[in-house]
């Protein structure tokens, strides 16, 4: 038959066994300060992982290690079974070439608290920059895709706007479109709404919800607890460089097992 049954076509895509991102025993220090103290985490394809925790607990550092912005001291991170960065434990066990790092980085999208758009470029040019430069996508093709992504984040009419002409919420939606432009396997968000005026938070969360329901693999550091409960498959609570507990929202948010999780949730609610 011309069309394969649904069950067959989904298994031929060979969903990686276990995690899309696997983090095992990751440690990281800055000088004397141990910021990650043995992190184990599995991010499954198509799932949303929300990371909660007090300021300074190591959440941003963890995201940065996944995106090659921070080398780990020991432990291992893999993306689709490929080692990310390098692990050091006395000896250098594995080091990637700069070219390999760049290639892997194109598979990981990241959205920061502070938008980080290029101020002197339009929304459209912000989105086409990486595909054109990193992948050599022709201009017309990159722009056509960028317009689709602008429509996805509800900004199809602002292609020609510069960041200063956009609200914070609009800028963050352009930043999300930009992160999607390389078709990443996983999208990392570091407190994507923390820098926004309260009335602009929801428009950004709505875009992230849309990505989640479309099956995009997301890892989101957030203080928006009710959003995490709605959208996350797995909630991770971090404190002092460790994962204190992780599990479905019904467990970690609604019935936390640890006192530290309970007191954190009481403080941020």
Query: Which residues would be at the binding site for ligand ADP (CB under 6 A)?
Result: 30, 33, 35, 53, 55-61
- Contact assessment for residue 163 and residue 174, using Cβ atoms and an 8 Å cutoff: yes
- By residue count, the chain amounts to 269
Instruction: Using the structure block, give the residue that is written with the tokens 């696997």.
Output: 22
61 binds Mg ion (CB under 5 A): no
CA distance 168 to 190: 15
Residue 244 host element (H or E): strand 242-247
Question: What is the number of the residue whose Cβ is closest to Mg ion?
Answer: 60
Classify residue 15 by its DSSP letter: P
Q: Which of 60, 126, 171, 193 binds Mg ion (CB under 5 A)?
A: 60
Residue 39 host element (H or E): strand 33-43
Please, what is the minimum distance in Å from the beta carbon of residue 183 to ligand ADP? Answer: 27
Give which of ligand ADP, Mg ion, none residue 97 binds (C-beta under 5 to 8 Å, depending on kind). none
Nearest to 76 by CA among 18, 19, 20, 22: 22
Please, what is the minimum distance in Å from the beta carbon of residue 59 to ligand ADP? Answer: 3
Kindly compute the dihedral angle of the four CA atoms of residues 106, 218, 111, 260, in this order, to the nearest 10 degrees: -130
CA distance 32 to 164: 40
Stretch that binds Mg ion, among 52-60, 82-90, 150-158, 241-249 (CB under 5 A): 52-60
Number of chain residues interacting with Mg ion (CB under 5 A): 2
On the CB side of 223, how many CA atoms lie within 13 Å of its CA? 17
Please, what is the minimum distance in Å from the beta carbon of residue 232 to ligand ADP? Answer: 17
Residue closer to Mg ion (CB basis): 49 or 122: 49
Residue closer to ligand ADP (CB basis): 62 or 196: 62
Stretch that binds Mg ion, among 53-61, 78-86, 104-112, 196-204 (CB under 5 A): 53-61
Residue closer to Mg ion (CB basis): 60 or 217: 60
Stretch that binds Mg ion, among 60-68, 85-93, 126-134, 197-205 (CB under 5 A): 60-68
Kindly compute the dihedral angle of the four CA atoms of residues 116, 240, 83, 68, in this order, to the nearest 10 degrees: 20
Give which of ligand ADP, Mg ion, none residue 30 binds (C-beta under 5 to 8 Å, depending on kind). ligand ADP
- Which stretches of the chain bind Mg ion, using CB under 5 A? 59-60
């Amino acid at each position: 038959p011309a069309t394969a049954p649904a069950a067959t076509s989904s298994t031929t895509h060979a969903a990686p066994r276990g995690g899309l991102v696997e983090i095992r025993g990751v440690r990281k220090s800055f000088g004397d300060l141990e910021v990650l103290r043995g992190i184990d985490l599995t991010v499954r394809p198509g799932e949303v992982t929300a990371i909660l925790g007090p300021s300074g607990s190591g959440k941003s550092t963890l995201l940065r290690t996944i995106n090659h912005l921070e080398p780990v001291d020991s432990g291992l991170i893999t993306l689709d079974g490929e080692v990310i960065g390098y692990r050091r434990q006395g000896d250098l066990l594995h080091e990637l070439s700069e070219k390999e790092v760049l290639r892997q980085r194109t598979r990981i999208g990241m959205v920061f608290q502070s938008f980080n758009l290029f101020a002197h470029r339009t929304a459209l040019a912000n989105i086409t920059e990486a595909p054109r430069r990193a992948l050599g996508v022709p201009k017309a093709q990159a722009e056509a895709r960028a317009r689709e992504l602008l429509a996805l984040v509800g900004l199809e009419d602002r292609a020609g706007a510069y960041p200063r002409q956009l609200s914070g919420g609009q800028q963050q939606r352009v930043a999300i479109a930009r992160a999607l432009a390389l078709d990443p396997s996983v999208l990392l968000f570091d407190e994507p709404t923390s820098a926004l005026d309260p009335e602009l938070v929801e428009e950004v969360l709505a875009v992230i919800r849309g990505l989640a329901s479309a099956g995009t693999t997301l890892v989101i550091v957030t203080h928006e607890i009710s959003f995490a409960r709605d959208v996350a498959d797995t909630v991770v609570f971090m404190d002092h460089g460790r994962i204190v507990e992780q599990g479905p929202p019904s467990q970690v948010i609604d019935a936390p097992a640890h006192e530290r999780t309970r007191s954190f949730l009481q403080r941020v609610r």
